[in-house]
Amino acid sequence: MSKFFSYLKTKSFRTNILAAIITVFVLLMIAYFSLKYYTKHGEGLHVPALKGLSFAQAVTKLEESGLRYEVDSVYIMDKPPGVVIDQDPDADTFVKDNRTIYLTINKGSAPDVKFPDIEFKSLREVQPLLEGYGLRIGDTTYKSDVSRDVVLSASFGGQEIKTGTTLPKGSRIDLVLGDGRGNEEVDIPALIGLTKDEAKFSLRGSNLLLGTISYEGTITDTANAVIVMQTPLLTDSVTKVKIGTPINIVLSNK
């Protein structure tokens, strides 16, 4: 043990220790500067803001910044086609040179979807169902029916559509709903002696429809022709009909 302590006091030991420390320091410095060079520590680029730009504008900015890009696409109905909807990484993110930036572009045309089965479903059920297919509810009108707020029919562009019909995503669907008053009855209005326009006004107030229009004799003045017959006719035995019943009329200039 005394020899070991004696060795620690020798010049040879001190020289070896110093050489070991210098060697370790040199190796650490080499590793540090190598890593710094490899990762380009302190060097990089800020990602430009690309959202809302056209695809061509975004590509120009990326190429000027020395960045690569990859493209994906989606369809958003309220956004113009060909613009950047999203980017990854976000704007002002600090990245290395030649980093790939991922762009999401809005498609130029809407993809097609198949119209779901909504007939006889409630409006509350139908709204999220259509939204899930990328469709929107347009105008809603009501028709006399025992069911309330239940879809009786659907149309697009004035044409009735059925389950499975192919439509562009984002289409507005017009719905005809039941008013829940199909079993209610109203008094039959007396239309004889009225003009066609006067009859329409009276029927609208009674929630009845104008049915077929026939003419008796030679009609010289359509606007002033009056109703000489109606079906059903108000009688002592028949005074009420269901809401939505069509009333047929006969017009004459006599």
How do residues 84-130 score in pLDDT, each as one tens digit?
Answer: 999 999 988 888 878 899 999 998 888 889 999 998 899 999 999 99
Percent pLDDT > 70 in the chain is: 89
pLDDT in tens, the chain (254 residues): 556 556 556 767 667 777 778 888 888 877 776 665 555 544 568 899 999 999 999 999 998 888 999 999 888 877 888 999 999 999 888 888 788 999 999 988 888 899 999 988 999 999 999 999 989 999 999 887 777 889 999 999 889 999 999 999 889 999 999 888 767 788 899 999 999 999 999 998 888 889 999 999 888 888 889 999 999 988 877 888 888 889 999 999 87
H-type helices in the chain, by residue range?
2-8, 11-39, 55-64, 123-132, 196-205
Count of helices and strands (H, E) across the chain: 5, 16
For residues 167 and 226, give the distance between their C-alpha atoms in angstroms, rounded to a whole number: 46
Dihedral (CA of 222, 226, 229, 233) sign: positive
pLDDT of residue 4: 55
Helical segments of 73-149, H only: 123-132
Supply the pLDDT for residue 212. 93
Q: Return phi, psi of residue 10, to 5°.
A: -85, 160
Q: What is the pLDDT of residue 109?
A: 80
Up-side HSE of residue 20: CA atoms within 13 Å toward CB?
6
Identify the pLDDT of residue 42: 47
pLDDT at 37: 54
**Cβ neighbourhood burial of 251 (10 Å; 0-12, 13-18, 19+):** buried
Position 33 scores a pLDDT of 67
Radius of gyration from C-alpha coordinates of the chain? 41
